[in-house]
Amino acid sequence: MNILVEGCDNTGKTALINEFLKINPQYTVIKCNAPKDMESARVQYVNIVDKLNDSDNLILDRGMLSECVYAPIFRGYFPEYMRELEKSIENTLLVLVSCDEDVATKRYDGLFIEETHIPKILADFREQFRVCNYKDKITVDTTNRTPIQAAKFLDSFMGYNEI
């Protein structure tokens, strides 16, 4: 099974992925590039869906939900095509990494987003997760979990076809 890891900056996605790879070294991480416009985004995500559907043991560090959250904020459009693409993804567990607002703020690294955006982005990710068309999805809350605890929690779900 593949894994798509999503969430606001400073929630612990990279730390979770790094610890998960120590437990499951057979996985390969792939990343999305920040698209410049909606058409380049659409092409990128169609290619990613194809890759996910044709491969196993991939971890996508950000992707579809991130585009739904960040495109309206930073590029001025909502990727309407995303809901249809989500329906075509097979054999992939969507993982929303989340934490309390105060924890994300304490972890704030000054990169990519502004600290004042954290509450809205956290809420937007939760909403996009709620309405998305993924069959298999879980939330990993890192508020009170270390990265290794979060990775072990995620590892406990691997191998199940339905969550």
Residue ranges per domain, the chain? 2-155
Strand partners, 98: 141
Instruction: List, for residues 87-137, the tens digit of each pLDDT value.
Output: 999 999 999 999 999 999 998 887 778 889 999 999 999 999 999 999 899
Q: What is the mean pLDDT of the chain?
A: 92
Tokens of 79: 């990727």
Q: Hey, which residues does 137 pair with through a beta bridge?
A: 94
Distant-in-sequence, close-in-space partners of 71: CB < 8 Å, separation ≥ 6: 35, 38, 41, 77, 78, 79
Residue 28, by phi and psi: left (phi above 0), alpha (psi -120 to 50) or beta? beta
Q: What confidence category does residue 159 fall into, taking pLDDT thresholds of 50, 70 and 90?
A: low
pLDDT band for position 36 (50/70/90)? confident
Give residue 162's pLDDT.
40
The CATH number of 2-155 is which of 3.40.50.300, 1.10.1060.10, 3.90.220.20, 1.10.1740.10?
3.40.50.300
pTM of the complete model beyond 0.85: yes
- Give residue 108's pLDDT: 84
Distance CA 52, CA 121 (A): 26
* Other CB atoms within 10 A of residue 125 CB: 23
